[in-house]
Chains A and B, each alone.
Chain A
Amino acid sequence: MNACDIGRERVHAHLDETPGAALSESLSLHFATCPGCRELYEDLVALRAALRARPRPELPADALEAVWERTVRRPAAGWLDGWRRAATAAVLVTAVSASTLWLLRGSPAPAGPTPAQIALAEAQADLVLSYAARAIQATRTATTHRVVGSKISPAVRGDVPSDSRRR
């Protein structure tokens, strides 16, 4: 027998809101006139009881052991575990790098040439530089004459007769 729509809703509401509570008077009165709803209610109460009576399987003992191994029996995190280890490593690397740089900077310069050698080298360098300067100057003058000179008209230079200018 089917439950009526209104009764069905009230049956579920009763099971939802007041599990295990006694039936309200109005619902009892409804059941007296609607055997379908009464049947639904009885079936759902029995269904809930059957579901709660289901045997609950036990977690296998070796699985529980594995949980203990991975949790409470795991050695406690030492001071150097986790982020502390990373931080310590970073500090150590920085310290080693800084001290290496300091050592390189503070070390004495290798033995260099004598003052006489330096003076000789300077004199040679001056001589080479003066030759180089003269060569650069000569090259610049020649190039300027070649480039600029060809672009200046003979009239401007003043070496062309005036009648040839009109031609």
Chain B
Amino acid sequence: MTTVEFEDAVREHKDRVYGYARSLLRDSEDARDAAQECLVKLWQHKDQVEPGAGCRSWLLRAAHNLCIDRIRRRTVRREVDPEESAELADARPGPERLAASSHAGQLLERALMGLGERDRAIVLLREIEGLRYEEIAEILGMNLGTLKATLHRARERLRRDLVRQEVTP
């Protein structure tokens, strides 16, 4: 990947990477740092990444791994620092939800954030980013059967949550 191709890739995927990180981390500052780190990582590996669809998949994989690292570190910090834990819990009405234009949008965000990290990642990568199952399986280190079964459960859980709140998805 040349420098020009790198710049194009950053412009094309920066919001995707940031959005994914924000949905996974539920924290805009953390997501911003993760997205930045992810794009810098692409620069460092630009000789090994082909521009195009492969680049999107590479970036989402890198973003996922960076987010999971942050979530793990955050879990450790929470165990150590209960005050920080309280701060993170207070930040629950996330920016996504506030940005959602409608009440239904807010409820969808809440339902999505109610999923576990892995289930949420699968829904985001498949239903929003439209990645192939093989790509998602590679990113998450899962086999295809488990991946599909998890996605089916997550879809139905989202539907159930929305129906419970009398929102037609």
Q: Which residues of A contact B (CB under 8 A)?
A: 12, 15-16, 19, 40, 43-44, 46-48, 50-52, 54-60, 63-64, 66-67, 70-72
The answer, among A19, A51, A72, for a CB contact under 8 Å with B123, is A51
Give A9's nearest chain B residue, CB to CB. B152
Interface pick from B13-21, B50-58, B66-74, B78-86: B13-21
Task: Tell me which residues across on chain B come within 8 A of A43, comparing CB atoms.
Answer: 159, 163, 168-169
Q: Contact: B169 with A16, CB < 8 Å?
A: no
B139-155 interface code vs A (CB 8 A; 1 in, 0 out):
00000000010011001
Q: Contact: A59 with B32, CB < 8 Å?
A: yes
Task: Tell me which residues across on chain A come within 8 A of B40, comparing CB atoms.
Answer: 67, 70-71
Q: Kindly count the residue-residue contacts between A and B in the assembled complex, taking CB atoms under 8 Å apart.
A: 93
Interface residue? B48 (CB, 8 A):
no
Q: Contact: B19 with A57, CB < 8 Å?
A: yes
Given A50-B108, A58-B15, A59-B15, decide whether A71 and B159 contact each other with a Cβ distance below 8 A: no
Q: Which residues of B contact A (CB under 8 A)?
A: 3, 6-7, 10, 14-19, 22, 28, 32, 35-36, 39-40, 43, 95-96, 99-101, 104-105, 108-109, 112, 123, 127-128, 130, 133, 148, 151-152, 155-156, 158-159, 162-163, 168-169
Complex Cα–Cα for A12 and B96 (A): 27
Nearest 9 pairs of A and B residues by beta carbon = A47-B169, A71-B43, A59-B18, A46-B169, A59-B14, A56-B19, A12-B152, A67-B39, A51-B127
Q: Contact: B96 with A57, CB < 8 Å?
A: yes
Give B38's nearest chain A residue, CB to CB. A67
Q: Contact: B15 with A44, CB < 8 Å?
A: no
The answer, among B28, B39, B162, B168, for a CB contact under 8 Å with A71, is B39
Complex Cα–Cα for A85 and B32 (A): 34
Which of the listed residues A15, A46, A50 has the most CB atoms from chain B within 10 Å of its own CB? A50
Complex Cα–Cα for A56 and B151 (A): 21
12 A-B pairs whose Cβ atoms sit less than 8 Å apart in the complex: A43-B163, A43-B168, A47-B127, A50-B104, A51-B112, A57-B15, A57-B22, A57-B99, A63-B18, A64-B14, A71-B6, A71-B40
